[in-house]
Chain A
Amino acid sequence: MTWLEDAAARARVLEAQPQAALVSAELPLRANLSVLENIAIVPQFRLNLSYDQAADAAWALLARLGLTDCAFKRDPSLDCVERFGAKLLRAVIGRPPIILIDRPALLLPDIHYPPHLESVLQRLADLIEQCRILDYVWNAPLYAPR
C-alpha cells in the first residue's frame, strides 16, 4: 500500500515509477474492442503472437478472475468490477516489473473494494512481480488491519 496525502503526492509517486503498468480510471479500455481483445492486444502486439494464441492467454486470465462472461462485452456494457478486472489483466498480461493500482475507489466505486482487491490479487499472485495500491489516507479505515 502507498498512502497518499493529496493529488501532488500521487503525481510524485507516478513520476517516480515510469516503468510501472498503471491500472487507473484515467487509462480506459479501447471502447471499440471487447474485453478479450483489449487484453489480447498486448501480447499480440508486443510479442507478435497470433490472435488465437493471444486470445487464449487472455481467456485463461479472465477465467482466473471468473470474468469470462464479459469477455465479448465492450467497455460501456461493463460494470465496475468487470472493467477493473479487464484493466488489471491488461496490465498483468504484459508482465511489467510493477503494477500500480491507482485510486481504487475511483475504479470500484460501487463495492467495498479492499476485500475485492485482495481477492483478485491473490488469484493472480503468481503472475505479478510487485503490485502497489495507491490510495488516499482518508480511505485507510476501509482496509482491514494487517
Chain B
Amino acid sequence: MHSSLSSIRLAGLAVTTGSVVRDFLADGLAAGLDRAALERTAKMVGLRERRVAAAGVTALDLCADAAERLLAEMGLDATSIDAVIFVTQTPDHPQPNNASLLHGRLGLSKSAPAYDLSMGCSGWVYGLQQAALLCSQSGAARVLLCAGDTLSRLTHPGDRSTDPLFGDAGSATIVEKTGRSAPMHFVLGADGSGAAAIRVQQGGARQPSGPLTERTDAEGNRSHDANLVMHGADVFSFTLREVPAALESVMRHAGYAPATTDALVLHQANRFILSTLAKKAGFAEAQTPMAVVEHFGNQSSASIPCALIHGLADRLEAGPLKVVGCGFGVGFSWGAFAGEIGPLTVAPILMFPR
C-alpha cells in the first residue's frame, strides 16, 4: 500500500539504550567457541558490542526516558502532545497497553489518544505513517511516537543464530503538522504466509504457558517455546525479495534516485544484510549508516531512529536531508519511506539507567 502524506515534519528524535554492555568476542570465548571463527563472524555480520537492558528495565522505561529527554530538549510540555503511539512486541503487560502507561507516566492530556502497534523491526515506519496520518488527516498538531523492544530477553543463550544479535532500546520521535507541502511517501506491505519464520510461540492466548522443553536444531542451537526463534535463511530470502522492491517503489513515488538522495536508512539488522541491500538498491555504503549493530546490537523497532541519530545527527539538525529508508522483519512485514527529514532536534543516545 502506498500513501503520500503532506504537511508533516519530523521535529525530534531520541534513543535510550539498555545499560549493560555485552562484548561479542568475550561472550563467545566464554561459551567455549573458537576465536578465529568468532572474529570472522564479527567482521562479516558487524558484531562487536551490544547494549541490553538491566534487570527490571523494560521497553516502556527506555522509551519513557527517551521521550522525557526529547520533550525537555525541545522545550515542550507533555500536555502539548495530541496523541501517543507505542510500537513494541515486548510490552510491560498483556493489558493495559504500553501507550496508556506512558500517557499516564508523562502526564498527557485526556484528549490525547494512546494506542500500541504490535510490530517489530518494521514498526518504526508503521508508527511514523500512523503519526503522519494523524497530523496530516486527523487534526493532531503533535504526535509522540515511541518504538522499542527488549528482544535480548527472549533469546536462548544457547542459540547462536539469535542470542548474539539483539540489543535493547527505546526511541521517541515527535511528528508535527506543518505548513510545509513536500509529502512523506510510505510503502507498507506484508507476506503473512511466511510469518512463522520469526516467532515466540508461548506467552499469547494460543499458548499462554506450558512446559519449556528445550530443543536442539540441526546446527546445535538450543531454544524452547518462550524463546524468540528465527529461521535466518527464510528471513534473508524474504528480505532480498521484498526490501529492494519496496525501496524502488517508494523512491518512484517520491521521484528520488540513489544519486540525488542523501541517505538510505535501513533497519539495522546486521552489516552483511545492510551492505547487500544498499548494493541492490544502488546506494553507496557511504550513504548508508550501518554501524548501529556493532555498537548497540539489532534494536528491533528502535534501530532506524538510532541509525538516524548515530549516523546523521549533525546533518539532520542542520537539515533538510532527502532520506529513504525501510524497516523489515517479524510478521514478514516491511515499511519503506521517502521524504525530507530535518532540520530537527536530536537528543543524544544515552543509556538508562545512567
A and B: partners?
A: no
Query: Which A residues lie at the B interface, using CB under 8 A?
Result: none
Give B residues with C-beta under 8 Å from A: none
